Amino acid sequence: MNLVILASGMGTRLKKKIPKSLISFKNKSLLFRIVENSDLFSKIIVVGGYKSHLIKNEIKKCRLKNIIFVQNKNYKNTNMVESFFKSYNEISSDVIISYSDIVYNKSLLKKMIVFKKNHILLNSNWKKIWKLRMHEKNIFLDAENVLVNKSEITNIGTKIEKKMPKFQFMGLIRFNKKFLRKIKNFYFKLNNKKIDFTKFLNLLIENKIIKLKYQKTKSFWFEVDTLKDLAALRKYKIR
């Protein structure tokens, strides 16, 4: 099993002059926290972009032999889907994709490894987390819609129109290797290097490229987009 960590972002809302994934709390960067929980994987691929030399230095601190760095040189004009496909030639098995601006329990990776379908994780406790991150009236604007039917995702990444969704996407995706070429070919036909991952997943569903399953969880997970997010995260009792 491979892990791809998407770490090319600048994180301008955090007002730091370092890559977003290198934001630190309790003496560990977001990136380091993900990597240290990744001993379950035969290969770890980190995709950097903004100030990549700093990402490389952070990887060296991890002291792992099975970690590979890949660069998205055009990070300013592309998005995370493009960063993921920069890692395509390095992927040698089924893959879990992780955003690098999130903090989560290692148990979630185990959960995804065991469930051998193309799928994403959905958090059912997300509203409680969002209330720590922003004023309640802003949640409606910041969160994205997620609709499910039985075991499958039917819609993701669209604007919430009326009712708050039960779940929220967590930035963790599993693709099985036998589907990767098909997914890659579809991406290049779109010719949209700025598409974000949730909209891309939605197009995969709409165009019946793959069936996207899901697993739900209440386990700890936190997204860091702003200084307020970081302040709220620091209140949690995490090692």
When pLDDT is averaged across residues 91-99 and rounded to a whole number, the result is: 98
Q: Is the pLDDT of residue 107 over 90?
A: yes
| CB-based contact 45:55 (threshold 8 Å) | no
DSSP line for 54-98: HHHHHHHHH--TTEEEEE-TTGGG--HHHHHHHTGGG--S-EEEE
Q: Is the pLDDT of residue 239 over 90?
A: no
Residue range 23-73, pLDDT digits in tens: 988 889 999 999 998 989 999 999 999 999 999 999 998 888 899 999 999
Name 141's Cβ contacts closer than 8 Å, sequence gap at least 6: none
Is the Cα dihedral 102, 41, 238, 104 positive or negative?
positive
* Ordered structural domains, the chain, with CATH: 2-233 (3.90.550.10)
Tokens of residue 78, six digits: 């592309």
| CB-based contact 170:221 (threshold 8 Å) | yes
Residue range 126-148, pLDDT digits in tens: 998 888 888 888 888 888 999 99
How far apart are the C-alpha atoms of 174 and 223, rounded to whole Å?
Answer: 19
Residue 238 binned pLDDT confidence (cut-offs 50, 70, 90): low
Residue 48 has, within 13 A of its CA and on its CB side, a CA count of 20
When pLDDT is averaged across residues 170-193 and rounded to a whole number, the result is: 97
* pTM beyond cutoff 0.75: yes
